[in-house]
Amino acid sequence: MQQIRSQVTERDGLFELEAGSDVLDSPRYNHDMAPTKVRERTWNKWHITALWVGMAICVPTYTLGGVLTAYFGLSVGEALLAILFANIIVLIPLTLNAFPGTKYGIPFPVLLRSSFGILGSNIPCLIRALVACGWFGIQTMFGGLAIHLFLGSVFEGWKSLGGTGEVIGFMVFWVLNLWVVIRGAESIKWLETLSAPLLVLVGVGLLVWAMPNVSMTELLAIPPKRPEGASVASYFAAGLTAMVGFWATLSLNIPDFSRYAKSQKDQIVGQIIGLPLTMFLFASLGVVMTAASVKLVGVTVSDPVTLIGHIQSPVWVALAMALIIIATLSTNTAANIVSPTNDFQNIAPKVINRTKAVMLTGLVGLVLMGHELLKKLGLIVSDLGLETVYSNWLLGYSSLLGPIAGIMVVDYFLIKKQQLDLAGLYRDDVYPAWNWFGFIAFGVPVVLTLLSLGSDAFSWFYSYGWFTGSALGGLIYYGLSAMRPSPTAVKSAV
């Protein structure tokens, strides 16, 4: 006989929900969004490390050094330092926001119900989902190009398809991504674990190929593209903010993965080992490869897919493209599909299950890349390029997510004292439908950031958007919540 009231039990600091009819019949609950059982939390520190290696080694990471030197006026050395420092900084919200996921086994949208309300959580969720769908489309474009070049190296006639072949590759890669995520978290875990050593091997191979053709001394001596005599501080800070923005999205939805971690130690150590050094080394590789590309293939090439496509040996091209397909797949599935899948389910868990949410994610990503796909098919002519979208809109948009990160940390650690009503997060009678404190704390820094775009005096507020946003959002939320203690700040987790 089904129990009526849900029960929460604790085992070695990990909480587990035995759902009763009060939760099972709730419109806020489905099986995919349910807290993971302790026995389902099987990811150790090496699985978490592999997750980050798999996500960090990707085409956009490879191009980061070029983005910072071309768009942010940094030298090569400054750019690489900005990438390293940014990923050390972003570890703070990543590890802190991972805590409730590991302790309670809950995904990102369910955690947001504490700070934004049961229904209000949908607003930041959908904001986060849109960014992820944009990244999904961009990564799928790179993966599709790799498939096109792979097939072109195997079948001579395929090359003649040109842009049409790239679009076919896009659709094949699109289907492959959705299939992996529909199969569930275990398939993602094993994909990341198996691909991580292969990706490291790709990086080493590219470095061995490039090093004889580049002088590191000359590379580091290239002057930055900024006004002569300009202070490095403002340029470096702007670049640092953009690089923090690169993983700002994951710093929010890290509970989607930490809910599978065996312990807090595993999620912390895994992230420390897996993220900063991987990002730094692969971005450094991108800088070296771009500099060496002139001698290697005769032209400057800033992305590895196109660069490898210039190799004359079909065998090496096919092998390299196969590994890049794996690299892009491991990044895309974990970083860009898991989150919107959970976010879309949060809208109506009884109506939208994981399969439907994955398909919805795929469709939104497809629509966002529609312009680029039509260009490749020759149906439209446009100067708007993928690099423009990547460098400007996505990195800038991601920096606006800082307030959400600050609000989440303050709500869990300072307001709720690391104590959540686990069953109450899946019902309508414990937490408010809309927590307006969360929306005020989110809205104020976002509005100020946007207003600062038109003001020279306050341009620093935008340039340092993630830092100013997360700090101000957290402070406002704490101030508002402290004035009126929340009734949902429970004394115990049960």
61-99 pLDDT tens trace: 888 887 788 778 888 888 889 999 999 999 999 999 999
Q: What is the 3-state secondary structure (H, E, C) of 114-150?
A: HHHCCCCCHHHHHHHHHHHHHHHHHHHHHHHHHHHHH
Under 8 Å between Cβ of 266 and 48: yes
Under 8 Å between Cβ of 28 and 423: no
**Residue with token string 């990244």:** 135
Give how far Cα 72 sits from Cα of 204, 226, 442, 477, Å. Answer: 28, 8, 27, 32
Q: What is the pLDDT of residues 225-260, one digit of tens each?
A: 888 777 888 888 888 888 887 888 889 999 999 999
Under 8 Å between Cβ of 67 and 239: no
Q: Which of 267, 220, 240, 238 is nearest to 98 (CA)?
A: 267
User: What is the per-residue pLDDT for 452?
Assistant: 80
Provide the b/e sequence for 386-423 (b: ≥16 CB within 10 Å).
bbebbbeebbbbbbbbbbbbbbbbbbbeebbeeebbbb
This prediction has a pTM of: 0.87
Task: Give φ, ψ of 372 to 5 degrees.
Answer: -65, -40
Q: Which of 313, 327, 399, 343 is nearest to 130 (CA)?
A: 343
Under 8 Å between Cβ of 362 and 174: yes
Residues of the chain with pLDDT under 50: 1, 488-494
Q: Which of 74, 80, 84 is nearest to 223 (CA)?
A: 74
Between 3.40.630.10, 1.10.12.10, 1.10.4160.10, 2.60.40.420, what CATH number should domain 7-380 receive? Answer: 1.10.4160.10
- The domain ranges of the chain are 7-380
Give how far Cα 434 sits from Cα of 113, 245, 373, Å. Answer: 9, 27, 39
- How many residues belong to the chain? 494
Take residue 478 and report the two structure tokens written for it: 């704490």
**Residue with token string 């609950």:** 29
User: What is the per-residue pLDDT for 324?
Assistant: 80
User: What is the per-residue pLDDT for 406?
Assistant: 95
Q: Which of 188, 366, 214 is nearest to 300 (CA)?
A: 214
Q: Which of 61, 32, 321, 331 is nearest to 177 (CA)?
A: 331
Q: Which of 59, 52, 106 is nearest to 323 (CA)?
A: 59
Whole-angstrom Cα distance, residue 364 to residue 340?
10
Beta bridge partners of residue 10, listed in sequence order: 15
User: What is the per-residue pLDDT for 393?
Assistant: 61
Q: 276-297 and 264-274 helices cross at what angle (nearest 10)?
A: 20
Under 8 Å between Cβ of 258 and 98: yes
Whole-angstrom Cα distance, residue 182 to residue 333?
10
Take residue 306 and report the two structure tokens written for it: 């196109």
Under 8 Å between Cβ of 42 and 132: no
Q: Which of 408, 424, 430 is nearest to 487 (CA)?
A: 430
User: What is the per-residue pLDDT for 490?
Assistant: 47
Q: Which of 342, 340, 452, 329 is nearest to 400 (CA)?
A: 452
Whole-angstrom Cα distance, residue 197 to residue 247?
22
DSSP 8-state code for residue 158: G
DSSP 456-472: STTHHHHHTHHHHHHHH
Angle in degrees, CA 274, 282, 376, rounded to 5: 115
Angle in degrees, CA 265, 269, 275, rounded to 5: 145
CB-hemisphere CA count at 13 Å for 252?
37
User: What is the per-residue pLDDT for 491?
Assistant: 42
User: What is the per-residue pLDDT for 228?
Assistant: 79
